[in-house]
Amino acid sequence: MKLWLFGLYGIVATTAVAGDRAVKKGITDTTGLVSSLPVFKDLERYSPLNFDQFGGHEIRALDRNLYSELFSHWEENQHFDYRILKELEEDLKDIKAKKGTALNCGSGVLEELKPVSTLEDEGLSLEQIVERIEKDILEFKDDETVAVNVASTEPVIPYDQEVHGSLEGFERAIKENRKDRISASMIYAYVSLKNGIPYGNFTPSAGSGIPALKELAEKNGVPHAGNDGKTGETLVKTTLAPMFAYRNLKVLGWMGYNILGDLDGKVLSHKQNKESKVVSKDKVVSKILGYEPYTITEINYFPSLQDNKTAFDFIHYQGFLGTKMKFYFTWDAVDAIVAAPLVLDIARFLNFAKKKGVKGVVKELAFFFKSPMDTDEYNTHKQFETLVNWYRSLK
């Protein structure tokens, strides 16, 4: 099984690859990997944990390699034991990214990540960009290849029925070089699905979520899933909010205030790029409760934290006899560490799905996402049950 990552040199991608290799070498265990829970034991037969090969697209540091980029992230974050890092150099230094596209990726990406180098910089048309992306992937892929988007979050692209509403319209727009309507994540998803490669969207970017690409997935019989990895504060929210519901406690307000540094934090400090993220995080509480309490959902840049995302949540709720009470939580985790294993999990389950003939949106993977496609199930407990049942019913 092979894994192609859009955003290959990001901290999530490099950590996912490093983790896979460290498990393979036996220098770390499978802690953090959902797909390695006893309940999914047989998955190993369909989608063995250790991937055969890694590749991906990038728009940054293209003259470097995965190890050097992992090392840079590590120097800022020291996000795992240096003794593990040291042992991985040989395994990772030959993994190199291909040049990608940053179409409609917003100022967050273009300014904060510079110097950036993209296919469009070479003067290519949309059609040519698609061809180049396709070429890279075709060279890499085998029958068990999955692609996951872990590139920086794009701004929200206004929905355009003509372009996004049908596969035919989408392909026409590519031909007509409608660069204003199509973003990098759509191109990546398009190429993947077109070539029968299951696609996971770990970001809140559009990706495969537009009708045109859902149509393509159905047509080609490819499974896909997204959006936006549910790793931190939202994971806790969707685990805890049900408690208030079960107990008939009325949530009056829920404040969630997130801070982080790092590239991701920098990109999200751009209003435009932040938008899709905040929407994604905000709606979960009301979806679970069935009514709309007052909510605050903010993400802010806090440079010294680097990838150490910290979230402050405050829940004000009303109990019996109208009495108001309080609940506070603080999430203090390393974003890449909670995210990376899920990237591997998603890839493994998508490959399993493909083998089992599942096509289109795999809504049973909702457990992994903040904004799961095609389902209204946000309760983490239920999502986990759904995942287990789905897996059991297929294997």
Q: Give the DSSP letter string of 153-180.
A: PPPPPPP-HHHHS-HHHHHHHHHTT-TT
- Please state the closest distance from residue 60 (CB atom) to ligand NAD, in A: 4
Three-class SS state of 114: coil
Encoded one letter per residue, x for contact with a copy of itself by CB under 8 A and - for no contact, window 361-380 reads ------x-----------xx
Distances (CA, A) of 194 to 134, 136, 145, 157, 220: 9, 14, 13, 22, 7
| Contact status: 208 vs ligand NAD (CB under 6 A) | no
Contact 311, 232 (CB under 8 A): yes
Q: 384 is in the binding site of which of a copy of itself, ligand NAD, Na ion, none (Cβ under 5 to 8 A by kind)?
A: a copy of itself
Does the footprint of ligand NAD cover residue 66 (CB under 6 A)?
Answer: no
Which is nearer to ligand NAD, 198 or 229 (by Cβ)?
229
Based on CB atoms, which residue is closest to ligand NAD, 232 or 372?
A: 232
Distance CA(69)–CA(92), nearest Å, equals 10
The Cα–Cα gap between 296 and 278 comes to 10
Q: What is the distance between the alpha carbons of residues 168 and 362, in angstroms, rounded to a whole number?
A: 23
Q: Which 8-state DSSP code applies to residue 152?
A: P
Please, what's the largest Cα pairwise distance for the chain?
67
Please give the structure tokens belonging to residue 14.
């490099």
Give the whole-angstrom CA distance, residue 28 versus residue 302: 30
Select from 3, 4, 9, 210 the one that contacts ligand NAD (CB under 6 A).
9
Stretch that binds a copy of itself, among 46-54, 163-171, 211-219, 315-323 (CB under 8 A): 315-323
Between 110 and 129, how does the x/- string for binding to ligand NAD read (CB under 6 A)?
Answer: ---x----------------
Residues 10-29 that bind ligand NAD (CB under 6 A): 10-12
- Residue tagged 């110097």 (tokens): 115
Of 110, 236, 278, 394, the residue at the interface with a copy of itself (CB under 8 A) is: 236
Interface with ligand NAD, residue 104, by CB under 6 A: no
If one asks whether residue 32 binds a copy of itself (CB under 8 A), the answer comes out as: yes
Draw the binding track, 291-330, toward ligand NAD (x: CB under 6 A; -: no contact). ----------------------------------------
Binding Na ion (rule: CB under 5 A), the pick from 332, 374, 376, 385 is: 332
The b/e string for 193-205 (b: 16+ C-beta within 10 A; e otherwise) is: bbeebbbbbbbbb
What are 319's two structure tokens? 């109990």
CA separation (Å) from 52 to 20, 146, 181? 10, 12, 36
Chain residues that interact with Na ion, rule: CB under 5 A = 326, 332
Binding site for ligand NAD (CB under 6 A): 6-7, 9-12, 57-60, 100-102, 105, 109, 113, 150-153, 184, 202-203, 228-229, 231-232, 263-264, 335-336, 338-339
